[in-house]
């Protein structure tokens, strides 16, 4: 496809801005993603040593989110206020998502019970799958909201640094 030379800068600028925004929300939301992934997986290898994520004290989880946020934002010269605001955003999202963990666990159990039954009820399995997808959609929407909120705390320059850092990280594989 040939691009019009007059629109090429606008096209390039749009993709650059989209990349910067994507990188900003990805890094700013890293603590939440890390936290959410651990919850989605449930207690397991590496998690059980501390009683599992589900038994983790909210204060301890808050401190972990603060530490992860500080670590992720250190290379972009985020101010203490920015780190604090982003950590608060991530803690709020983690709190909101915590109620979804139990629902997801219950749906996985129900699915396994249906698959272990003497007769496979495909309609019930489909109903559980739909509920799981709705739960994932709710979690995804909340995580995106937190990431966008966190990205708005950063300056355009910080988001550009973040995008550059993420691009280097993705290129390494």
Query: Distance between CA atoms of 16 and 115, rounded to whole angstroms?
Result: 47
Model pLDDT, residue 170: 82
Cα distances from 84 to residues 60, 67, 87, 97, 170, in angstroms, run 16, 10, 5, 20, 27
pLDDT-derived band at 49 (thresholds 50, 70, 90) equals very low
Q: What integer pLDDT is reported at residue 2 of this predicted model?
A: 54
Give the global pTM: 0.63
pLDDT recorded at residue 168: 85
Question: Is 50 exceeded by the pLDDT of residue 27?
Answer: no
pLDDT tens digits for range 92-131: 999 899 888 889 999 999 999 999 999 999 999 999 999 9
34-43, 60-69, 89-98, range with the lowest pLDDT: 34-43
Cα separation of 151 and 76, whole Å?
12
Instruction: Please name the residues in contact with 139: beta carbons below 8 A apart, sequence gap of 6 or more.
Output: 36, 40, 97, 100
């Amino acid at each position: 496809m040939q691009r019009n030379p007059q629109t090429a800068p606008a096209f390039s600028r749009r993709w650059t801005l989209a990349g910067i925004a994507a990188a900003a929300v990805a890094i700013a939301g890293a603590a939440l993603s890390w936290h959410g992934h651990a919850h989605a997986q449930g207690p397991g290898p590496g998690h059980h040593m501390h009683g599992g994520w589900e038994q983790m004290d909210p204060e301890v989880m808050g401190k972990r989110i603060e530490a992860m946020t500080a670590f992720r934002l250190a290379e972009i010269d985020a101010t203490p206020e920015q780190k604090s605001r982003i950590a608060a955003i991530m803690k709020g999202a983690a709190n909101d998502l915590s109620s979804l963990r139990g629902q997801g666990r219950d749906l996985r159990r129900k699915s396994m019970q249906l698959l272990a039954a003497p007769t496979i009820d495909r309609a019930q399995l489909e109903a559980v799958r739909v509920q799981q997808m709705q739960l994932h959609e709710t979690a995804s929407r909340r995580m995106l909201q937190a990431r966008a909120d966190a990205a708005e705390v950063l300056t355009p320059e910080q988001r550009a640094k973040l995008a550059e850092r993420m691009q280097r990280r993705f290129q390494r594989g």
